[in-house]
Amino acid sequence: MGTLRLEVVTPDKTVVGADVEMAVCPGAEGEFGVLANHISLLSALKVGALRYRASGGKDEYVFISGGFADMNNNVLTVLAESAELAGNIDAARAQSARERAEKRLAAGDDAVDVARAESALQRAIMRLSIAVRH
């Protein structure tokens, strides 16, 4: 089977740079898979798990905080505000973030930015579910 190049980058760093057999992305309109030599595509991503399989390897999971995926010339570039390999997720930190967001939402205080707290909660829950896939 052929491979494609996967690059997952954030403003700070490259999180993944690998030749992979396939990648499955959390598209804004639903998951989509990309194989070698896929036609060009550009898609918005939602908070979720990106899964990929390096040549002959096992599936790896990466937390993605939304962003964009661009497939061109057999290179899939994923641009995200933040991204972490499953093994690099700090579960205790995500658990604290989850509790903080839940408290803010439960308080029902006018000063709480509900959309922001809901996004933080969504990221924390997703990180916790991906951390166990390591």
Residue 16 binds ligand ATP, judged by CB under 6 A: no
50 lies in the binding site for ligand ATP (CB under 6 A) = no
Nearer of residues 4 and 123 to ligand ATP, judged by Cβ: 123
CA distance 84 to 88: 6
Task: Specify which residues 4 forms β-bridges with.
Answer: 20
Among 59, 90, 113, 118, binds ligand ATP (CB under 6 A): 90
- Residue 123, interface with ligand ATP (CB under 6 A)? yes
**Total binding residues for ligand ATP by CB under 6 A?**
13
Query: Which of 31, 33, 93, 114 forms a contact with ligand ATP (CB under 6 A)?
Result: 93
Does 97 bind ligand ATP (CB under 6 A)? Our answer is yes
Q: How far is the CB of 1 from ligand ATP (least distance, A)?
A: 31
Assess 82 for contact with ligand ATP (CB under 6 A).
yes
Binding status of residue 43 toward ligand ATP by CB under 6 A: no
